[in-house]
Structure 1
């Protein structure tokens, strides 16, 4: 948990809360294990990617004690010098330019002869005009990597949300990456041979820039990352990481063998195609063949939820065993390198391919106790699996995907539906539902939650827009292949076969009881005797899921729906967990709420929940 003693604020800076999804603890009044009794906030622009809210980190309080979220209206990358021409402030680095036409060769802008001299830009990055800072709270490499990774994803989605209203053309991933690189918000900045601290086999990514900011693969475009390394008394240029994304007809059917094509020569213009040369990355790969050094491999696959997208999976360490030249179908001579995966590593791409087969044919999933735990209550069957012991299934309960309301809430205001034709559009000031959400649509075109809010308002029955509107996400139900499985020490748990992208809707808490007749939040979730897959999500002090109130039944009795979303990218077959909170441990001796020993096993385990 962050504490104000971790930093010394500059008195000239102003606080702006820019929390990414990692810090999405429920924005509800106490008691939720969240300390909201602050009288002041330090003047610093904060990105707080890990932990719950604590004193001084953008936790301004409203009149009713709930934590306020300050929307981020703009991100700008600025420099202390003026850049003109074609220099791209979002490229992450600035290059020396050639003199313009009409200027005598050899005449620099500083009046000297020779190359053009320019001061190196020193970036200061701003969020809505205020400087952005990053607060690291852990020395654990995994925590640092996750913090940087999720900060990138939060910035990217906020950029995307803003750009949609302004019809901006720049890619949000490049903007987010440039901001983080310029502010030195990154992990593992130095190149290295072998493993990268805090990066685990099976980690998934959706943009090449993600690989850059965590230090897994430095080039944002090139497929080969290389460096000069010492081997005894000698130095040699060797490859340290490659991204196999299918651009050169790579053969990656065998998950322990990778035939990788060299770089260069492959142009869309047939007249520009030429034989590859033994230089740069190709030379580094050739030297790695002789040096026998380990090379990190990232494999690219098609994103099952986006026709044009890719998912990159870190597949561990490989070594090059042979190389050769061959002519490609396009007619150029290409270098080929055969890499073999080092033995004894956990599954990465192999697990991905296995789960994809299950999705195509669920009957291929072995050790299944029950093909559909939901008894067709869910659109996609929910498998029940036990690979640990002889337990035949969880205790009896009634499966339901409906929400049970105990009593109506008279304090919730009734909302007017939108009158949008066809679908709601970003930036449409006349869209009532957009205005309910602070002027922005809360979801991206892929259905990803852009940022947290005290309440998300989706379009409902009173709205004129169609069911294809992007502001109708959670009400359509889950679209994942869930698996209820037997854990080794915590009873039954929940995971899914697909990769889950940060901000994705997972499922709804199917039964709950309101804690107050006149206040919608906090609420008490109860699924002891009935519920859906959400009742199998275990607690973790380092969760990968958070819950968010959503309202779309504009004309009902005012109850919010409690929806679960992904805090971060979740690889296939990873247990889904959320933080149950620590309110019981902090209760004032009343004994009304019991605590339990936590067995989540995370580095940040509190011991109790």
Structure 2
């Protein structure tokens, strides 16, 4: 080259006429990775992509999280669904377990795999050993930043992830992957930097070392568990018309199964241990599995209220909103559709999630000032103004069209510091819009939204409860501010705003169960976990629970074993041990209240997560010869309907028959009424001390329970006796009420 060009200097201009011809040294052709390509090499793709394979259940759409085109159900241009987005090279030879269909991720989101959940099913019954055939070249539960994919413009619906280089997590739901704050403290790293890549490569090398903990979900075949859950809750081959316009029963079953599966996944991940640099999101993976199985509700996109979802319903994960059909995108704060106007298509907003990421505000719970999307501050300190596009444009169009927009408010969870709660607050209309300077100095779109009249209380109820807590307003109808007289961690008020009754019959409040004599049992090993019991260890208390800890770090029950083995008096772990959840007292602000027709009942000021511990049934352990007039009896020998059917013909039995009377001495558990469709279930809890065993009755939430909703459980059916309890008229008001209980 130098011979042709001569020397080049500042004083001598380049003579381009002397360049006769320049040919490349080699021919450049596209190079695709071979089946044996290693994902650790520089040529490898930045993430693994596997399209859902089906067959899909009738009426189920091909689910691609975040990017969800509005195509008709069951249609696609490829043999197994929609064509892959352009710009993606899919490596061949990637072996992925068929039970884990990992969908396309176009917005910085790589879904993972599945988990477990509370179930009377023994955990080990679904565990299979790892094999060479089912190992994936890449840990399927690692979340890595994908290569940017061209955004689809079909129906003018465009959903993208966080802008390249952005690290601001206090912007808005559409520019970061929503971290609900409940999963082991993991978040998804969406940085697209060399430092992030180096950290992830280092983590993968660590995971391959001799001391590595296995993280691939291919080690556990969870497909049998998923199929068992779907069959148990009648979510196989859902009627297409019911799935398009769902009722409350279907919505609740879908969300319940999601939480059961999510908690099982979380428990499996927990047992594998923490891998630095690898983020595992059980909430996203459980939702992906159910979407691919067609287990979802309200598949028809709509403007206005969603069938089967009531104002005030609570959700603890963004994926639940998607499964219920309330808000489609799992990242974006604005959901919108495309409508044809004079032959052209324009966006129309259908729902928003206001989770406090921007400077959203409201006054009395009926007005919401909502901030638009975009306008983030990047790493290079460049502040970008928001633009009138995508969700912002959809809101502006909805202002002029005057259509209703669903509003979901995101709030902090008072019982978990990092958690969020999503409350459906009904439908609003956009009243006006304007642009103003935000705190970061960029222009921000503002939308004033007014709540439609005639709707039940939603967010305003939460504001009232917070004012009760703060003492700003007095709770109406309070008879006693603390029924327990300080015996519990939190006060429990006695409330009557129905009639003139001044309180229940006298009893002595006792927060724990009183044993005359414990049950005898074979000698049991006690743990020596001075820092608290940990998963994936040789802790004897973990082994008693099938090799898993029964509770999450947030204190949520992860599995419905026949018996929960908690640490006993002989164990050396501290009182705050994760395996002593039922021993640490109340975590919820409860109240005993006067019902309209069932006497006294129990409810909570706090929203309750599915699987959360509520309270014990405290009282005195008595013999079989009980007083037939005692209405405060809990008998573990009764037949109780399990939360999910147990895959065995053998009857479910507790290890010891336990009968508790709370007539003269007991706690708030004695006020919990019967319901044919309860929101609370009980689990036997066993605590052992050398050769002594103490059985306790723990109450846990079946599903998410909004504040001030009555807490109920099924009283069960007594054993067949000549002189047993007589039937009583049931006033639970459920659509499935049997009309009586014992």
TM-score normalised to structure 2 length: 0.64
Structure 2 counterpart of 1:223? 333
Cα distance per residue 1:157-184 (max 9 Å; x no partner): 1111111222262211111111111111
**Matched residue SS, 2:693:** coil
Kept after mapping to 2: 8 A contact 1:90/1:175: no
Is 1:466 matched with 2:574? Answer: yes
Structure 2 counterpart of 1:132? 226
Q: Quick one: structure 1 residues 355 and 449, their matched pair in 2 at CA, closer, same or farther if it must change by over 3 Å? A: same
- Per mean C-alpha deviation after superposition, the further-off stretch among 238-247 and 521-530 is 521-530
Is 1:606 matched with 2:715? Answer: no
Unaligned runs of 5+ in 2: 1-98, 100-118, 152-217, 236-241, 626-636, 638-653
- Per mean C-alpha deviation after superposition, the further-off stretch among 452-461 and 280-289 is 452-461
Structure 2 counterpart of 1:62? none
- Provide the C-alpha distance between the structure 1 equivalents of 2:225 and 2:678, rounded to a whole number of angstroms: 29
Among candidates 520, 525, 531, match of residue 422 of structure 1: 531
Cα distance per residue 1:484-537 (max 9 Å; x no partner): 111111111101111111111111111254667997444334322321111110
Structure 2 counterpart of 1:582? 717
Structure 2 counterpart of 1:549? 684
Cα distance per residue 1:366-422 (max 9 Å; x no partner): 221111112222232211111111111112222222313355433x34422112231
**Matched residue SS, 1:130:** helix
Structure 2 counterpart of 1:192? 302
Q: Please state how far the C-alpha of 1:581 moved relative to its aligned partner.
A: 1.5
Structure 2 counterpart of 1:501? 609
Is 1:147 matched with 2:253? Answer: yes
Kept after mapping to 1: 8 A contact 2:613/2:700: yes
Among candidates 344, 347, 356, match of residue 246 of structure 1: 356
Among candidates 728, 731, 734, match of residue 596 of structure 1: 728
Q: Please state how far the C-alpha of 1:424 moved relative to its aligned partner.
A: 1.4
Kept after mapping to 1: 8 A contact 2:676/2:737: yes
- Provide the C-alpha distance between the structure 2 equivalents of 1:141 and 1:472, rounded to a whole number of angstroms: 38
Structure 2 counterpart of 1:558? 693
**Matched residue SS, 2:677:** coil
- Per mean C-alpha deviation after superposition, the further-off stretch among 308-317 and 545-554 is 545-554
Kept after mapping to 2: 8 A contact 1:514/1:520: no
Among candidates 345, 351, 355, match of residue 455 of structure 2: 345
Is 1:207 matched with 2:317? Answer: yes
Unaligned runs of 5+ in 1: 1-44, 46-65, 99-123
Q: Quick one: structure 1 residues 82 and 448, their matched pair in 2 at CA, closer, same or farther if it must change by over 3 Å? A: closer
- Provide the C-alpha distance between the structure 2 equivalents of 1:82 and 1:418, rounded to a whole number of angstroms: 34
Structure 2 counterpart of 1:158? 264
**Matched residue SS, 1:474:** helix
**Matched residue SS, 1:364:** coil
Cα distance per residue 1:18-69 (max 9 Å; x no partner): xxxxxxxxxxxxxxxxxxxxxxxxxxx9xxxxxxxxxxxxxxxxxxxx9753
Structure 1 counterpart of 2:662? 527
Q: Please state how far the C-alpha of 1:95 moved relative to its aligned partner.
A: 9.8
- Provide the C-alpha distance between the structure 2 equivalents of 1:68 and 1:155, rounded to a whole number of angstroms: 13
Structure 1 counterpart of 2:565? 457
Q: Quick one: structure 1 residues 545 and 324, their matched pair in 2 at CA, closer, same or farther if it must change by over 3 Å? A: same
Q: What's the RMSD between the two structures over aligned residues? A: 3.4
Cα distance per residue 1:456-494 (max 9 Å; x no partner): 111222112222221111111112221111111111110
- Provide the C-alpha distance between the structure 1 equivalents of 2:282 and 2:518, rounded to a whole number of angstroms: 42
Q: Please state how far the C-alpha of 1:346 moved relative to its aligned partner.
A: 1.3
Q: Please state how far the C-alpha of 1:272 moved relative to its aligned partner.
A: 4.7
Q: Quick one: structure 1 residues 558 and 438, their matched pair in 2 at CA, closer, same or farther if it must change by over 3 Å? A: same
Note the 1:92-491 alignment, pairs <5 A. 127-128=221-222, 130=224, 132-133=226-227, 134-135=230-231, 136-137=233-234, 141-166=247-272, 167=274, 169-229=279-339, 236-269=346-379, 271-361=381-471, 364-405=474-515, 407-410=517-520, 412-428=521-537, 430-491=538-599
- Provide the C-alpha distance between the structure 2 equivalents of 1:176 and 1:161, rounded to a whole number of angstroms: 12
- Provide the C-alpha distance between the structure 2 equivalents of 1:541 and 1:164, rounded to a whole number of angstroms: 34
- Provide the C-alpha distance between the structure 1 equivalents of 2:727 and 2:375, rounded to a whole number of angstroms: 63
Task: Report how many residues are paired.
Answer: 511
Kept after mapping to 2: 8 A contact 1:512/1:523: no
- Provide the C-alpha distance between the structure 2 equivalents of 1:283 and 1:82, rounded to a whole number of angstroms: 46
- Provide the C-alpha distance between the structure 2 equivalents of 1:234 and 1:294, rounded to a whole number of angstroms: 21
Kept after mapping to 2: 8 A contact 1:206/1:312: yes
- Provide the C-alpha distance between the structure 2 equivalents of 1:542 and 1:532, rounded to a whole number of angstroms: 23
**Matched residue SS, 1:552:** strand
TM-score normalised to structure 1 length: 0.77
Q: Please state how far the C-alpha of 1:144 moved relative to its aligned partner.
A: 0.8
Q: Quick one: structure 1 residues 362 and 573, their matched pair in 2 at CA, closer, same or farther if it must change by over 3 Å? A: farther
Whose radius of gyration is greater, 1 or 2? 2
